[in-house]
Structure 1
Amino acid sequence: MSDRPAQGLRERKKAKTRALIQKEALRLFREQGYTETTVEQIAEAAEVAPSTVFRYFASKEDLVFNDHFPLFAEALIAAPADLNPIRAIRVALREMTAAQTAEELAEGVEREKLMFTVPELWTASLTNVSGTLRSMQEILARRAGRDVSDPEIRNITGAITGVMFAVWFDWVKDPGMDGPAEMDKALAHLEDGLRL
Structure 2
Amino acid sequence: MSTSPTGLRERKKAKTRAAIREHAMRLFEEQGFAATTVEQIAEAAEVSPSTFFRYFPAKEDVVLVDDVDAVLVQAIRAQPADVAPIEAIVRALRDVFANMDPETWAWERRRQKLVLGVPELRARMMHQMTGAIDLMAEVIGERAGLPPDDFSARVTAGAAVGVMMAALPAARLTSGEGVTPDDHRRVLHALTLLQQGLPLG
Q: Do they fold alike, i.e. is TM over 0.5?
A: yes
CA deviations 1:78-125 (Å, max 9, x no partner) are: 112222211110111122223322121222233233334434324544
Q: Are the equivalent residues in 2 in contact too, given 1:137–1:157 (CA < 8 A)?
A: yes
- The corresponding residue for 1:53 is 52
- The corresponding residue for 2:187 is 183
* Shift, 1:149, TM fit: 5.0
* Shift, 1:73, TM fit: 1.5
CA deviations 1:103-151 (Å, max 9, x no partner) are: 2122223323333443432454466432331121122123234455554
Instruction: List alignment gaps of at least 5 residues for structure 1.
Output: none
CA distance in 1, matches of 2:70, 2:119: 26
- The corresponding residue for 1:156 is 156
Structure 1 residues 194 and 126: CA distance shift in structure 2, 3 A: closer
CA distance in 1, matches of 2:132, 2:179: 23
Q: Are the equivalent residues in 1 in contact too, given 2:138–2:148 (CA < 8 A)?
A: yes
* Shift, 1:34, TM fit: 1.2
Segment drifting more, 170-179 vs 136-145 = 170-179
- The corresponding residue for 1:67 is 67
Instruction: List alignment gaps of at least 5 residues for structure 2.
Output: none
> Is 2:59 the partner of 1:39?
no
> Is 2:139 the partner of 1:135?
no
In structure 2, the residue corresponding to 1:68 is in which secondary structure? Answer: helix
Q: Are the equivalent residues in 2 in contact too, given 1:137–1:153 (CA < 8 A)?
A: yes
> Is 2:193 the partner of 1:194?
no
Segment drifting more, 9-18 vs 51-60 = 51-60
Structure 1 residues 30 and 61: CA distance shift in structure 2, 3 A: same
TM-score, reference length from structure 2: 0.79
Q: State how 1:70-81 maps to structure 2 within 5 Å.
A: 70-81=70-81
- The corresponding residue for 2:114 is 114
The one-letter code sitting in structure 1 at the alignment partner of 2:182 is D
* Shift, 1:56, TM fit: 2.2
Structure 1 residues 105 and 5: CA distance shift in structure 2, 3 A: closer
The one-letter code sitting in structure 2 at the alignment partner of 1:19 is A
* Shift, 1:20, TM fit: 1.3
CA distance in 2, matches of 1:155, 1:163: 12
* Shift, 1:72, TM fit: 1.5
Structure 1 residues 104 and 84: CA distance shift in structure 2, 3 A: same
Identity score, percent: 45
TM-score, reference length from structure 1: 0.80
CA distance in 1, matches of 2:40, 2:149: 46
CA deviations 1:157-194 (Å, max 9, x no partner) are: 21111112223464644544612222212212222222
Q: Are the equivalent residues in 2 in contact too, given 1:24–1:46 (CA < 8 A)?
A: yes
Count of aligned positions? 194
